[in-house]
Chains A and B, each alone.
Chain A
Amino acid sequence: GNSVTQMEGPVTLSEEAFLTINCTYTATGYPSLFWYVQYPGEGLQLLLKATKADDKGSNKGFEATYRKETTSFHLEKGSVQVSDSAVYFCALSEPRRGSSNTGKLIFGQGTTLQVKP
């Protein structure tokens, strides 16, 4: 079945360090891929997305490229801030079956990022 695997956390970095959070997926067909972020006590916020192979999603200094050949969608940021501390979820939108697209999301288990000043 369709699934998402993320690197285990927590990931602890100093401010201004480079961030990579690995995400790989298994899916039949061509899913859309997403990164969501969850700050303490809040709901999920969309961070970025990519809908087809080789697309790069970007937002707030974060980037991720849809790599079909390696079935990956790794999240990167060049210089993290303390305010980036949160839980990051990689997700895929279940691919089309025939003419329908359920759109339901399948999430990884989440990666906690802690950024220290």
Chain B
Amino acid sequence: DTGVSQDPRHKITKRGQNVTFRCDPISEHNRLYWYRQTLGQGPEFLTYFQNEAQLEKSRLLSDRFSAERPKGSFSTLEIQRTEQGDSAMYLCASSISGSRETQYFGPGTRLLVL
């Protein structure tokens, strides 16, 4: 068990470009979550999957954001036409669903939009 991994760890892009992040969860975990964390704040929920189904999306997730988990394993988060306000740390977490569910986080992808 290598834990949750995310790639890339850092991304610098210019405003208007598209970016895609990848998350590989712990192998037996059926749930996968995306959060966004800005400087000095706690993480905020963006969306989550149970297996390959996307079950909930936050109102924070504008139409420029899309997430997939095509085979119920890894997930991608794409941001189209990036804006400076998208600069943040994007965190992925995975878990096994249940009443005592505990999420385990990856190291995050830090995005800077110039």
User: A residues touching B (Cβ–Cβ < 8 Å)?
Assistant: 4, 32, 34, 36, 42-46, 49, 51, 89, 91, 93, 96, 101-110
The chain A residue sitting closest to B104, CB to CB, is A46
Contact pick for B97, options A45, A91, A101, CB 8 Å? A101
Count, A-B residue pairs, CB within 8 A: 63
A102 vs B108: C-alpha distance when bound (angstroms): 22
Please, which residues of chain A bring their CB within 8 A of the CB of B108? 43
A70 vs B4: C-alpha distance when bound (angstroms): 35
Please, which residues of chain B bring their CB within 8 A of the CB of A49? 102
User: B residues touching A (Cβ–Cβ < 8 Å)?
Assistant: 4, 31, 33, 35, 40-45, 48, 55-56, 91, 93, 95, 97-108
Please, which residues of chain B bring their CB within 8 A of the CB of A44? 43, 91, 93, 105
Jot down 22 A-B pairs with beta carbons below 8 A, ordered by A: A42-B107, A43-B4, A43-B91, A43-B105, A43-B106, A43-B107, A44-B105, A51-B99, A51-B100, A89-B43, A91-B42, A96-B99, A101-B97, A103-B33, A103-B48, A103-B95, A103-B103, A104-B33, A104-B48, A104-B56, A105-B43, A105-B45
The chain A residue sitting closest to B100, CB to CB, is A51
Please, which residues of chain B bring their CB within 8 A of the CB of A104? 33, 45, 48, 56
The chain A residue sitting closest to B96, CB to CB, is A103
A44 vs B107: C-alpha distance when bound (angstroms): 7
A45 vs B104: C-alpha distance when bound (angstroms): 7
Tell me, rounded to whole Å, the shortest Cβ–Cβ distance linking B7 to chain A: 13
A108 vs B45: C-alpha distance when bound (angstroms): 12
**A104-B45, A105-B43, A109-B42 given. 9 additional CB < 8 A pairs?**
A4-B42, A44-B93, A45-B105, A91-B42, A101-B98, A103-B33, A103-B48, A104-B33, A107-B44
**A101 adjacent to B107 (CB under 8 Å):** no
A104 vs B55: C-alpha distance when bound (angstroms): 11
The chain B residue sitting closest to A103, CB to CB, is B101
**B42 adjacent to A89 (CB under 8 Å):** yes
Contact pick for A32, options B41, B44, B100, CB 8 Å? B100
